[in-house]
Amino acid sequence: MTELVIHVQRPEDWAETMSIHVWDARPSGFSTHWPGLPMEPRGDGWFSIRLPGVQVARLVIHDGQGRQTQDLLRASNGWLTAGGTWVEDGPPAAHAMESSRPAVTRASRIDHSPRPVEERTDFREETIYFLLTTRFYDGDPSNSFFCRDRIQFDAQGQPIDPHWRGDFKGLIQQLDYIRDLGFTAIWITPPVENRSGLDYHGYHAYDWTRIDPRLESPDATYQDLIDAAHAKGIKIIQDVVVNHSCQYGIRGQVHIDHLPTKYYVPQGSEQGRVDHGPYQGNLGNYAWLGRDDIDNPVAPAWYRERQGTDPEGREPLVDPKTGETVPKPGYQPGRFFGIDPADLDPAWYHQEGFICGGDWESAHPLQNKHLAGDCIDLATERQNVKDYLIGAIKRYLDMGVDALRIDTVKHVERDNLLEYVNAWKAHKPGLFVFGENLVKGYGWGDLGGGDNGPSQIRPWWYTRLGHDPRDPLAGGDSGFPQLDFGLFSTFRDTVSRGTYAGTAQILSMDWIYGDVTQLVTFLQNHDVGPDNDFKYRFQGEQWMAAAAYNLIWTLRGIPCLYYGEEIEFMKGAPQDVEGERDTLAHTGRAYFGDHLEPGRIEQTQSHPLYRHIQRLNLIRRGIPALQKAPVTEVREWGGGMSFIRAHADSGSCAAVGLAIGQDQQIEIQGVRPGLYRDAVSGREIQSGGHLSVHVKANSAAIYVLDGPGKIGEDGPYLR
């Protein structure tokens, strides 16, 4: 018979009796009413209880006199020592009376380990850490690589900071860092093989069936990363590009006509004299013996003949398109690096030119023209394209990838894109898939709100199945939630100015989404931030960022943090290169690994925002309502906000009050009657339908019905 057996050692300063409060138990759904069930004394300070029919449970141990553990999670039998350590093979006499303090009261003693990956089937339970793999942490310098563009040089003219710097080995080494911060899922940029002059980010795919070798090491493959993450209870979200390929085509499928890069000579130079960091002699790939950029077996015979020969690019080559001979200084850069849309293979690509001007707010050009010279628009409606992309990604799902993020959503017509999404979900039932539909504004489309684009290219449209651009309820939930660019866009005018005023307006439109609780919420990412026309890393005061995180972590949706936010990394820097001479080191995509080295990691983990986000993750993990419930009873008045989140399935109910800029006395109406405990302060209030709470500036009150009480330690922004 299935049962969960819990043994707990009584701390010295606790009362003589102990009880256990249980909720969200699986598979039975068993829960108790506070104060829960009495535990049976077993001698030597140990107490035990058996929970029949339970495999996994959330629980709190207490003595009925105000002393209690934090919210705990248990998926197997175990012994909890007085010092807050779980032991699997007790009773552990060696651990007896480690501490007289109640178990798990300090952040250093909090068990940050989430439940096993396979037991977490609702992605709303997760919080996401988003990183550019190549810019996070370098575990294997031997696979570092300089892209052809934007090389940084030191004062002596030596190339530094390779674009492909971080890798899977480095990420594996830093999984504990991410887990300690409290995140349970990592979203990585596309890991498939890329080709372009600046392809470190992964969005210029060349071969969807292969992992880029510049990310892997012999002892740190993609499979190794997935397995290592799962062993620590962390899920992997793979970023997927459906809309476009790189400008060189797709290995083994289609070739895009151009000349080998090694034959390009800039105007005023000559072959063999190119001096560009590691690209000595010519601009062909310096890491390949043949100095070419591609190895496509479907390229023309004349192209393939040069792949392994003439690495110096000196043997004359006749351009079959013009009849001219290269190398030739200044000869048509477009023949090496660009495309002619009219020459593209219509079986694989659209041929309608490049997006420009008013095209950005019109569905047809967005979905049938090319995004950029290195993002060539695939004919996603064709069966051969579907078969290739769907089949390629299924392999990674079979390897254990837990979720997918889809890039450039609005550039693929919704029903067409859902063919891909639904095929992957059918292959792996329960798969969570979300999309990126970038909009700088509310994103309501034909519903108004000052939007100058139609609904068909807005986020809400992709979460629905209907075809009426003015009626979201014309169709049900598509099962394809989106990044919440609407909420993000309000931050420019709210938290960036030290106010919550206007937040309620965006929340009033939550009904337009298929399932608003599955949206992925964020303050910034690799493309956008809420300042300076949405182009820069958040540059507001630290307390403003903390207030934004308080909102994101207590509001509906799945919180997502962009790497480095936890220490205000590259604060105020442009998210991507801007000027002609900019390099990555001066942008929001700078290398983060220096902050994770042994000499600096303690400083990194002591940052106020690191500790703040760590506690928010801990609180959210312990309160099902904060993970899964919609938002009701919303009030906001600039300096503060309040709302209620009640989750019917679990019975979890939280009343939230937020303050920004200064202290607030907040009145929360419409709460269920009962005893509420604040997860921030530990205070208790008996409510008959109303709560009156005092919230300190830039902090939060999270009163939970029959809740566990205070979770984590006070900091400057949660106290």
| Element spanning 394, H or E | helix 383-399
Which residues in the chain are classed under CATH 2.60.40.1180? 481-719
Contact by Cβ (8 Å): 532, 576 = no
| Multiple choice CATH, 481-719, 2.60.40.10, 2.40.50.140, 2.60.40.1180, 3.40.50.300 | 2.60.40.1180
pLDDT at 66: 77
CATH of domain 3-111: 2.60.40.10
Buried b (16+ CB within 10 A) or exposed e, 304-317: bebbeebbebeeeb
Buried b (16+ CB within 10 A) or exposed e, 676-708: bbbbbbeeebebeeebebebbbbbbbbbbbbbb
Q: Say how far apart CA 84 and CA 179 lie, in whole Å.
A: 18
pLDDT at 579: 86
Which residues in the chain are classed under CATH 2.60.40.10? 3-111
pLDDT at 102: 33
pLDDT at 546: 98
- What pLDDT digit, counting tens, does each position of 681-694 carry? 999 999 999 999 99
pLDDT at 177: 98
pLDDT beneath 50, residues of the chain: 94-112
Q: Say how far apart CA 262 and CA 276 lie, in whole Å.
A: 13
Q: What is the pTM of this model?
A: 0.85
Q: Where does residue 362 rank: exposed (0-12), middle (13-18), buried (19+ CB within 10 A)?
A: middle
Helix axes 383-399, 222-231, angle to 10 degrees: 50
Q: Say how far apart CA 240 and CA 421 lie, in whole Å.
A: 11
- What pLDDT digit, counting tens, does each position of 131-172 carry? 999 999 999 999 999 999 999 999 999 999 999 999 999 999
